Amino acid sequence: MQESNTLSARWENYRPSKTTWFWSVVGTAVVTTILGFTAGGWTTSGNAAVMAKKAATDARAELAATVCVDRFAASADASQQLTVLKEKSTWERDDFIKEGGWAKLLGPKRIISGAADRCADMLAGMEELPQVSAVVRPVDG
C-alpha cells in the first residue's frame, strides 16, 4: 500500500482525459507563442520590413554624414567654420550645415534626412578636423 502512494507510482498510474490533453496542448502553444514574441526575438514580417527600412535609412544618412564631414574638412576655411559650428546651439547646427552646402550629395535633389544632424554632431564632437586626402567640392544648387 505504501508503494502506490509514492510519486513515481502515482505518475505511472495517471491517465489524463482527452480534455486535459487538449488544454495542456493549447496552453503550451499559447505560452510558447508569448515567450517567442516577447523574449525569444520572433518578429512579424511587417515589423521586419519596418526594421529593414529604418536600417537602410540610417545607413544612407550615416554615409551622407561621412561625406559631409569630408566636404566640411576640405573647405578653405574649415577651422573657422568648425569654431562657428561649435558656438551654435545644437538645434541650429543642422541648419548651419545645410546652408553651407556640405550635406548635399550629387544625385539626390534634396538633402538626405538626418544627414545634416549627424554631420553636425560628428563635427561638433571633433577636437580637430580630419586630414582630407582628396579634393572634395561642395555641390552647387
Residue 137 lies in a domain: no
Residues 61 and 33 in one domain: no
Whole-structure pTM value = 0.64
Q: What is the pLDDT of residue 131?
A: 77
Residue 80 domain boundaries = 55-124
Residues 34 and 75 in one domain: no
Residue 77 lies in a domain: yes
108: cell is: 539626390
Instruction: Give the integer Cα–Cα distance in Å for 140 and 3.
Output: 92
Q: What is the largest CA-CA distance in the chain?
A: 98
Residue 24 lies in a domain: yes
Domain count, the chain: 2
Residue 46 lies in a domain: no
Q: What is the mean pLDDT of each run of 10 residues along the chain (141 residues)?
A: 74 92 97 95 94 94 92 90 92 91 78 89 87 59 50
Residues 66 and 102 in one domain: yes
CB atoms within 10 A of CB 21: 10
Q: What is the pLDDT of residue 93?
A: 93
